[in-house]
Structure 1
Amino acid sequence: MIVCLDSGNTRIKWGVHDGIEWLAQGAVAQADVGQLSRLVAEWPQPEKVVLANVAGAEAGGRIREQLAAWSPVIHEARSEFRRCGVTNLYKTPERLGIDRWCALLGARAQVSAAIVVVMAGTATTIDTLDADGNFLGGVIMPGVGLMLRSLAHGTAALPFAEGEYAANPRCTDDAIVSGVIEAQTGAIERIFSRLSDPAACCLLSGGYAEQLAGHLVIRHRLTHNLPLEGLRHLALET
């Protein structure tokens, strides 16, 4: 049995896999990290625990405190040059965010063609894999929520918008929400357009993935908890 944990800026996603299927998945807020102790009680003897943490050393320490009983089998994932069919062409491979690396590994396990991998969370990352599994690079931009908050906090007259998307917005809230959606999907589609593989597709994961997917005009697919999938494959190779 493998336990996978993806510690992001806002939430800690977790999953328990028996080698055939996911037995359970869930998430807790970073502020509620104490809830992870329930995993130890419910799944007392995993063979391996793999952790991807981008929330900093302090957050990682809190997670390890809650999972102290699993300490002998906890492995903290690191970005590498090559693993699970993916070659990392980042200038300094180990500097690639582990959440992005795990998402790439999970994506490669699902698609053999070229892929644009989108993680739509606190930040939005848009990464490209070619058909040979080479990670060509990617971009990082503020996520949907951060874009909305930046306009509300950085301007005197604009609200935190709770509008709806419209092709031609006719009120301020709709104009803000629509602008954010257009910016996010436009960046995804622009990067996707650079792929020459006719079988290429876009995989989206993260809290805002479904919202963005509804406005994309390229071939795409929602894949929940993509970093967990990558962690599972990583655990099988380490």
Structure 2
Amino acid sequence: MDLLLDAGNTRLKWGLRDESGWRGQGAVAIGEPDGLAAVLAAAGPIRRVLGANVAGAGVAARLAELLGVRSLVPVWIEPSVSAFGVHNRYLDPARLGADRWAALVGARALHGAAALVVTSGTATTADVLDGEGVFQGGVILPGLDLMRSSLARDTAQLPFADGRFEPLPRRTADAIVSGCLHAQVGAIERMFRRVAAEAGAVCLLNGGAAGSLAPLLEIPLRRVDNLVLEGLGCMLSEL
């Protein structure tokens, strides 16, 4: 059994995988990585640990300590210029986030044609992967909840809205939620234009806000549970 870890800004996602595929996936709060201990206790023997970490050195150290109790040493991936069928055109390839790199690798493995790779979490990323497997670039914007919380934090009379999407909102709460969703969907659809003309082009959507965004997107769409874990699964061959 192999343990795969996606240490993000808010959550630590985990996956257990063997030769037959996924044996389980889940998540714990990034500030409480000890929640992973129960997963480890129930998992049985684990051979390897591979992860993508954008949560910082402190989280990496805590996980190393937790895993060390079981004599496991996590390996944290770093982006490269080219690997696993993906060519990285970032101006400084090493500066691409490890999670974005793993998601691109996962996207290429799951969909062998052009794709817009979208992760909708604390931040939303939309990365262009062409039909040849070349990562052409991408954008980062605040995630849905960050957009809503920024309005509550930085304006005098706009609360953190618990509204709903409406085409023409007539309540402030609905206006806030609808505006934030329009901003997310608009950015994604604009970025999709970069690959729309390629054969088989699709938006691969994952992340915590995917359920809110998917019904509003008017582009070819495929939801995937966790592209980062999928990419890490592809990378196990290098360990």
Q: Percent of counterpart pairs with the same letter?
A: 49
Please state whether the residue corresponding to 1:233 is helix, strand or coil: helix
Aligned equivalent of 1:220 = 221
Q: Which amino acid aligns with 1:186?
A: G
Aligned equivalent of 1:234 = 235
Aligned equivalent of 2:79 = 79
Q: Which amino acid aligns with 1:231?
A: L
Residue 22 (1) aligns with residue 22 (2)? yes
Equivalences for 1:56-95 in 2 at 5 Å? Answer: 56-95=56-95
Aligned equivalent of 1:114 = 114
Aligned equivalent of 2:105 = 105
Aligned equivalent of 1:178 = 178
* Cα offsets for 1:66-111 (capped at 9, x unmatched): 1114555521111111111001110111110001001101100011
Please state whether the residue corresponding to 2:194 is helix, strand or coil: coil
In 2, distance between residues paired with 1:22 and 1:50? Answer: 14
In 2, distance between residues paired with 1:90 and 1:70? Answer: 37
* Cα offsets for 1:187-214 (capped at 9, x unmatched): 0000111222042000011100111111
Aligned residues of 1:50 and 1:231 also touching (Cα < 8 A): yes
Residue 129 to residue 71, structure 1, CA distance change in 2 (3 Å): farther
Q: Which amino acid aligns with 1:228?
A: L
Q: Which amino acid aligns with 2:237?
A: L
Aligned residues of 2:119 and 2:126 also touching (Cα < 8 A): yes
Aligned residues of 2:64 and 2:73 also touching (Cα < 8 A): no
Aligned residues of 2:8 and 2:53 also touching (Cα < 8 A): yes
Distance apart, 1:47 and its partner CA: 2.1
* Cα offsets for 1:154-195 (capped at 9, x unmatched): 000111111110111111111110000000000000011122
Aligned equivalent of 1:150 = 150
Please state whether the residue corresponding to 1:16 is helix, strand or coil: strand
Aligned equivalent of 2:124 = 124
Moved over 4 A (4+): 70-73
Aligned equivalent of 2:204 = 203
Distance apart, 1:237 and its partner CA: 3.2
Distance apart, 1:226 and its partner CA: 1.0
* Cα offsets for 1:38-67 (capped at 9, x unmatched): 233223432211011100000111111111
TM-score scaled by length of structure 2: 0.96
In 2, distance between residues paired with 1:109 and 1:71? Answer: 31
Distance apart, 1:149 and its partner CA: 0.2
Residue 74 to residue 172, structure 1, CA distance change in 2 (3 Å): same
Q: Which amino acid aligns with 1:63?
A: L
Aligned residues of 1:116 and 1:126 also touching (Cα < 8 A): yes
Aligned equivalent of 1:33 = 33
In 1, distance between residues paired with 2:140 and 2:18? Answer: 33
Alpha-carbon RMSD: 1.2
